[in-house]
Structure 1
Amino acid sequence: MNEVEVVVAHSERATLRVGDVFLKVDADQARIDVEVEAMSLAPVPTPKVLWRKPPVLAITAVPGTTLGRLGGPSTGSPAAWTAAGAAIRKLHDAPPPSWPGRAGRSIDALEAELDAECELLVTRGILPADLVTRNRQVAEAALRPWTPAFTHGDLQIAHVFVDGDEVTGIIDWSEAGRGDALYDLATFTLGHEDHLDDVMTGYGTDVDLDVIHAWWSLRSLLAVRWLNDHGFDPFAPGCEVDVLKSRM
């Protein structure tokens, strides 16, 4: 008999696994709508939708294993990272969706959010002021005009599955939409800087690496407090706080 596995759970949403079926429970119907629509448009392997009955979405598991996780070693070969880079490029080259995704926030809105978050990180004593100030300076390079692309919006390495050197599936599309392609590349390589060259080989075009470095800082600054408040540990080895420290 299959057991129910809690994959992730917090106040906004939860994902359960029963055998080869994942049940995503989300009170925000718009996120479920985005996930289903994005998977239908994406030119890369995605889970199959079995059924929808708000607030639940049932999808299939994808074959293969993940490339690793933030804070842990990569289980994928350099060739697998290169294949992932090629898959990401294929996504970014597809016609962008009509809606903005997580990677598509305006420069003004992102800057305001970043400044407010940096202030909270310091006033609440979560991070030292010099660490926040330095990474806020690095993050500035990400606040520039960008060409809209089809972005995943939450492209953590744990969301990319491979079998050998082939990408077999990309999951968790609720943040997808029109956005900055370099945000995806930065999210995918966060905490795994040693594989950035492999990913760029597969991606197949020159990008501004300073912007990827900036997104590492920006994304981490925006994530630390939320993770801390929702029972996750951004201070674990190799995770967001270590990413910020590496910029020092």
Structure 2
Amino acid sequence: MTALGRLTGECAWLVTNGVLPAGLVTRNRRIAEAALRPWTPVFVHGDLHVSHVFVDGDEITSVIDWSEASQGDACYDLATLTLGHEEHLAELLDGYGTEVEEDVIRGWWSWRCLVAARWLIEHGFDPDSPGAEFDVLRARM
């Protein structure tokens, strides 16, 4: 299934099941579509979170949990690393070394939150807890 197909299906599920208001889903779907552009495949971590990165002072000493590593969009890793922490996005991009469109990062935030919600709910997690996926989606309004 394509990323667009997955997005379409999950957005429909969220609205049909009354999980989120249609306007919130529609707005975030439009934002998510910015991430679904042509990109050059690179080696990505796939699940890059602060808890997977070890540092000593200002130096990264290791990155763990490469179980989701594959070819992908480098912006997805940047988005995952900053998900829920928009206040650090500018600083991360300043140190990244190449130009990155912030709209693409925000697009991946919306995409990930929209497509993850059903799985989280079905597996006993609450995407509506403070700072979680639904807060990220609401911040885009």
Residue of structure 2 equivalent to 1:178:
71
Residue of structure 2 equivalent to 1:125:
18
Mapped pair 1:149 → 2:42: yes
Residue of structure 2 equivalent to 1:89:
none
Say which SS state the counterpart of residue 130 (structure 1) adopts: helix
- Judging by fraction of residues, say which structure has more helix: 2
Distance 2:59 2:127 in 1: 30
Structure 2 counterparts to residues 182-221 of structure 1, below 5 A = 182-221=75-114
Structure 2 counterparts to residues 1-248 of structure 1, below 5 A = 109-248=2-141
- Judging by fraction of residues, say which structure has more strand: 1
RMSD of aligned alpha carbons: 1.2
| Unmatched segments (≥5 aa) in structure 1 | 1-107
Say which SS state the counterpart of residue 167 (structure 1) adopts: strand
Give the percent of matched residue pairs that are identical in Structure 1 and Structure 2. 65
State the aligned residue count.
Answer: 141
Choose 162-171 or 128-137, whichever is displaced more.
162-171
- Code of the aligned partner of 2:123: H
Say which SS state the counterpart of residue 120 (structure 1) adopts: helix
1:149 deviates by 0.7
| Unmatched segments (≥5 aa) in structure 2 | none
Distance 2:75 2:100 in 1: 8
**TM score, norm. by length of structure 1:** 0.55
Distance 1:130 1:158 in 2: 33
Distance 1:158 1:126 in 2: 29
Residue of structure 2 equivalent to 1:9:
none
Measured against aligned partners, the alpha-carbon deviations of 1:112-171 in whole angstroms (never above 9, x if no partner) come to 111000011111121111111110011111111100111011112222222222212212
Q: Which has the higher contact order (CA 8 A, sep 6+)?
A: 2
Measured against aligned partners, the alpha-carbon deviations of 1:31-84 in whole angstroms (never above 9, x if no partner) come to xxxxxxxxxxxxxxxxxxxxxxxxxxxxxxxxxxxxxxxxxxxxxxxxxxxxxx
